[in-house]
Chains A and B, each alone.
Chain A
Amino acid sequence: MAEVVWPWQYNFPPFFTIQPHAETRAKQLEAWQQLIAIYLKSNKQSTMDIREASNSPLFNNTSINRKLSPESILTILEDMAKSGKAAPVDKSKNVWEIYWHSLDEWGNMIYNWANINGMNNTVCTLFELREGENSVGEEFHGLDMNVLIKALKSLEMKGKCELMEFDDNQGVKFF
């Protein structure tokens, strides 16, 4: 697990209580969003189960004896969902996808990479994108499969690629 540089708020005890004052809460939620993004990014993680997340160091600072309750985590994620930075996977809103880049940003990043590497009009598998040698060092290398597909679908909507299935595999053709 990569080292996370914790912001000052992480050691500030009231950071773990959702604030009643609207303006303060807005600042608090903003800081949590940034921290969640940093943490998940450094762990290359895109999904989160609220029921387990309460015990993760991200939401549980044992050194000051403060933790974020599942309800509070839900409040933050629902706020992130408003700006397209997260989306619930199940109906009961226990499992969430977190987009530390928006789906649009992911799509553009992959498209630019494909362009630079002269992959237009050729088909490559999603496996190649995620785990191929060519994409080592790219931010999307190792990206969650579901998030990757959603990002490519947003790209497809813009007419920049086409998703396809062949054999047992999924692939994409960039235009």
Chain B
Amino acid sequence: MRRRAGVGAIQKQRLEQEKYREKGSEIQENQFQQMSKQLEVFRENLEEFASKHKSEIKKNAQFRRQFQEMCAAIGVDPLASGKGFWFTVVPIGKGKWLVQSVPGELNLDQTLVLQKASTLGTAWVSTSILTQDLSWNDTRAENALNHMVKEGLAWVDTQDPKETLYWFPSMFAECVSASEDAVSTK
């Protein structure tokens, strides 16, 4: 005779599932917090680094390029300000520095978008690239991209025959070298 599962067993199973879910989201939450924190620490270090090595960054073209790549990877846009961002690093207290060219916080999705554009080496991404390569749905991709447009990080290009492209000046080679020229002639 086949034994039917009793009410108690079902409840026990449901309870376990709930516990798993709770634990799962707890772990996820922890990971997210840790990651955000790491990113924050890294950014702080980057800012401190920029202020310490200001003259070296200005003098050495190769060093400057590496530094800019690093900035792009973490989502700090050294070109957000026309003057170049090492000029806008201002002291706000004992050993604390404020980088004014960072327009608001970059969330994780935006960082992933920048990383994608950086890996592709195209200086642009599109909704279809994000949905295909990152397995995002349309809404997630559009939200991230629209947000970056609103923050002044991305430029919209509607003249591609297939779809709207989102361009990042900080990754566009000619723009980067133009700003290098501007810095080195100062």
- By beta carbon, the residue of chain A nearest B174 is A8
Q: Per-position contact with B for A65-85: 1 when CB-CB < 8 Å, else 0?
A: 111000000000000000000
Residues of B in contact (CB 8 Å), total 19
Partner of B152, one of A9, A21, A67: A21
Q: Within 8 Å CB of A20, what residues of B? A: 149, 156
Are A14 and B155 within 8 A (Cβ)?
yes
Q: Chain A interface residue count: which class?
A: 20 to 34
Answer yes or no: A13 CB below 8 A from chain B CBs. yes
Partner of B155, one of A7, A24, A65: A24
A19 to B166, CA, bound (A): 11
Chain A stretch 11-27: residues in CB contact (< 8 A) with chain B:
11-17, 19-21, 23-24, 27
Q: Within 8 Å CB of B165, what residues of A? A: 13-14
Are B178 and A8 within 8 A (Cβ)?
yes
Q: Within 8 Å CB of A16, what residues of B? A: 157, 159
Q: Within 8 Å CB of B156, what residues of A? A: 14, 17, 19-20
- By beta carbon, the residue of chain B nearest A10 is B174
Are A12 and B175 within 8 A (Cβ)?
yes
Binding site for B on A (CB under 8 A): 7-9, 11-17, 19-21, 23-24, 27-28, 65-67
Given A8-B175, A14-B156, A24-B155, 20 more contacts at CB 8 Å? A7-B178, A8-B174, A9-B175, A12-B155, A12-B169, A12-B174, A13-B160, A14-B155, A14-B157, A15-B155, A16-B159, A17-B155, A17-B157, A17-B158, A20-B149, A20-B156, A21-B150, A21-B152, A23-B152, A66-B157
14 contacts between A and B (CB under 8 A): A8-B172, A8-B175, A8-B177, A12-B155, A12-B167, A12-B174, A14-B157, A14-B165, A17-B157, A21-B150, A21-B152, A24-B149, A28-B155, A65-B159
